[in-house]
Amino acid sequence: MAEMIGFVGAGNMGSAMVKALVDSGRVKGPQIMVVNRENSERIRALEIECGVVPARDISDLAARCSVVILAVKPDQVTGVLESLKGRARPGSLVISIAAGITLADLQVALGPEVAVVRAMPNTPARVGEGATALAGGEWVDASARESAELVLGVTGKLYWVDEECLDIITALSGSGPAYFYRMADEMAEAACRMGLDRILAGDLARQTLIGAGRLLKESGAGVGELVRQVASPRGTTSAALGVLEAGRLGQMVEEAMAKATLRSHQLSGLVGRHALTRARRIVVKVGSSVISGEDGVLSEPILAGLVHQVAELASGGREIIIVSSGAMAAGRGKLGASLRGSMTEKQALAAVGQGILMRAYETAFEEYGLTVAQILLTGEDFSNPRRSTLCRNTMSALLARGVVPVINENDTVAVDEIRLGDNDTLSARVAVIASADLLILMTDTDGLYTGDPKTQPGAELITMVGSVTPSVLEMAGGTAGRNSAGGMTTKLWAANLAAEHGIPTVIADGRQENVLISIVRGAEIGTLISAGHTGEKACDSWGSREVPSA
């Protein structure tokens, strides 16, 4: 291969691939360029050992290399893609070994006429015994496949697969070596506890793993046959295997691989998370449970922490619109009444609390030299085109002057809104008419779980939702928190509405320290409902209620 090959990243896998290429004789060291964000010592070591050429930066590498390997971690890929955008040579090949980052995301970032391949190698690639699965994008032709095989063939065996298989393959062969290492370590530790010397136990476990792998490779026998060769009836191995089977080894392995598969899929959301860093106009819905204490009364110290984050974002050029619950909680603190009273009593609490809530916001923002403006809205402000336009213009004028709008329902007249507790939908409507880049729904839970985490200990946080489908709504299950009226279902309704208008939504625990700042920095916090996936089929099965429109 006469063309230059570029490696973005010189970590363990990248360095191993560089060394394997040079050792194989397929490529000479000066034909390889390497760039590394950190640890220049790695580049220097490869330069001395293999003769590679250090690149000035990613742009330099992209301009000179016909094949580029992205040998970086998934959370670094989005930054690398931004640096490569518009710089990858037409007809070049880009190979990504980052788990979870999809061909579609890679292709969108790199543009047309760039051949894109996803590869999932594993660490035995360092000794030429790897198992590497590859999936190609739409621009991958026979020549691109040949180039990919030349570069990756030195790692071991190659398998071309459909991209849909890569998450499972990541769990099988990508993570697989660690399973075997862990098993060998447990065997050595068990032998040590039973009285064997630690060094001897470790050496025996290591050699057993090496020998078993080599025998499996060279004997030509299947795994089942090799097990039978070791496990004679009523022998020691059969006794041991009986314990493993009684402990449901197969089920444990499947559960572990399912977790790894899910995590690989979740990593695809990192590209969407990175896009949040570019959000300029952000609507933040603050739930009552976020700014209320355990007694259900407005907590000004908690509110002050939220305001500090908003002020920091504003100082960085972001425009923040707050949709805030908490008026009734503030009224309760003043009057000492219950939040579970009649509709009229709730309206009275809201009327008293609205001024208290705004005074708390005003006082907190004054510390940072920021002015707030109160906007009270009802459903008619969105359904009436003229009033909707006036609302949009008012918000734009306030934001242009550096004012932070604080929006709430007009609770004293909007009876339906109090009954439904739908500040979630209000915030989505505001995001739409304000042409926001991001909607953040702050609540008292980490996000959407596979079940109710309060009653199902095994429930897991879902970090990314592509579309709001009936199955997603079913997982939302439960209702509101102790001091709030809206539940996870209303938040998904709101996220669906925002997604229909191209606005991503993050549902997160607003009580976490610096949660707003972390979200806008692209951190994997809460549940991201991506834009552009509207889940129309789900809407058809949600019953008679229509998705509110702005």
Q: Residues 216, 220, 225, CA angle at the centre, nearest 5°?
A: 70
CATH for the stretch 271-540: 3.40.1160.10
Quote the CA–CA distance of 546 and 427 in Å, as a whole number: 17
Quote the CA–CA distance of 16 and 155 in Å, as a whole number: 9
Outline where DSSP puts E strands in 38-98. Answer: 53-54, 67-70, 93-96
Say if CB 339 and CB 329 are below 8 A apart. yes
**Which residue reads 């893609």 in tokens?**
81
Strand partners, 464: 528
φ, ψ at 465 (rounded to 5°): -125, 125
Q: Domain 5-174: which topology? A: Rossmann fold (3.40.50)
Which is nearest to 296 in space by CA: 335, 345, 323, 322?
335
Quote the CA–CA distance of 379 and 322 in Å, as a whole number: 18
Regarding pTM above 0.85, the answer is: no
Q: How far is CA 528 from the centre of its chain?
A: 7
Paired tokens of 10: 């010189």
Length of the chain counted residue by residue = 550
Paired tokens of 94: 């880009």
What is the Cα gyration radius of the chain? Answer: 29
pLDDT given for residue 545 in this prediction: 26
Q: Is 195 exposed, middle or buried (0-12, 13-18, 19+ CB in 10 A)?
A: exposed
CATH for the stretch 176-268: 1.10.3730.10
Q: Residues 473, 477, 483, CA angle at the centre, nearest 5°?
A: 120
Q: What is the 3-state secondary structure (H, E, C) of 312-360?
A: HHHHCCCEEEEEECCHHHHHHHHHCCCCCCCHHHHHHHHHHHHHHHHHH
Paired tokens of 307: 């305001």
SS3 209: helix
Q: How far is CA 128 from CA 123, 131, 343, in A?
A: 9, 9, 72
* Sheet of 527-529, strand order: 372-377, 404-409, 319-324, 281-286, 438-443, 505-509, 527-529, 464-465
Question: Residue 342 contacts by C-beta under 8 Å, 6 or more apart in sequence?
Answer: none
Q: How far is CA 146 from the centre of its chain?
A: 33
pLDDT in tens, the chain (550 residues): 558 999 999 888 899 899 989 998 989 999 999 998 776 888 999 999 999 999 999 999 999 999 999 999 888 888 898 889 888 888 899 999 988 889 998 998 898 889 999 999 998 988 889 999 999 998 999 999 999 999 999 989 999 999 999 999 999 999 999 999 999 999 999 999 999 999 999 999 999 999 999 999 999 899 999 999 999 998 999 999 999 999 999 999 999 999 999 888 888 777 788 888 889 999 999 988 888 776 667 788 888 999 999 999 999 999 999 998 877 766 666 666 555 566 666 677 777 778 888 888 999 999 999 999 999 888 778 888 899 999 999 999 999 999 999 998 765 555 554 443 478 999 999 999 999 999 999 998 899 998 888 788 878 898 988 888 888 888 887 444 444 445 888 999 999 999 999 999 999 999 999 999 999 998 889 999 988 543 333 332 222 223 233 3
Quote the CA–CA distance of 293 and 326 in Å, as a whole number: 11
Q: What is the 3-state secondary structure (H, E, C) of 233-255?
A: CCCHHHHHHHHHHHCCHHHHHHH
pLDDT given for residue 333 in this prediction: 61
Quote the CA–CA distance of 367 and 374 in Å, as a whole number: 18
Quote the CA–CA distance of 408 and 426 in Å, as a whole number: 8
Helix/strand/coil percent split, the chain, to 5: 55, 15, 30
Which sequence spans correspond to the domains of the chain?
A: 5-174, 176-268, 271-540
SS3 42: helix
Quote the CA–CA distance of 160 and 148 in Å, as a whole number: 11
Quote the CA–CA distance of 469 and 93 in Å, as a whole number: 36
Angle between helices 423-433 and 488-500 (to 10 degrees): 10
Q: Residues 394, 398, 399, CA angle at the centre, nearest 5°?
A: 115
Quote the CA–CA distance of 541 and 546 in Å, as a whole number: 10
Paired tokens of 477: 């299950």
